[in-house]
Amino acid sequence: MNLTCLQQVLVDEVADVTVQCLLRTVSAAVLGIVFLSGRQSAELASARLNAMNVRFKTRVPWALSFSFARAIQQAALVIWRGDEANVAVAQTALLHRARCNQAARQRKYVATMEKEPE
């Protein structure tokens, strides 16, 4: 199955349709919704989570967050490769992704965070 999309939809459009769908179908009694990456890049996942939290911060009854899945772990796993010598650098990469997603959860993520040193 080819998952490549030739025409990418804007981050805000994804945020809008995702949250509108959730508002129509998910009970307000649910405490939170966590997203998987769905093979999108870690940066795009953070940007989309941030957009949902920014655009709908007062209109959603649940917390919107990110699952501790591939989009958070991938960079660290690629760096680590099971080699003890790479542990510290891999941990730094994992911490960076966690901080980016924490910022997205708090409506504070910006793309320039990807270039900031830890």
Nearest to 60 by CA among 105, 6, 111: 105
- Banded pLDDT at 53 (limits 50, 70, 90): very high
Taking only the tens place, the pLDDT of each residue in 18-31 is 999 999 999 999 99
Regarding pTM above 0.75, the answer is yes
Taking only the tens place, the pLDDT of each residue in 71-111 is 778 889 999 999 999 999 999 999 999 899 899 989 999 98
Three-state DSSP class for residue 27: coil
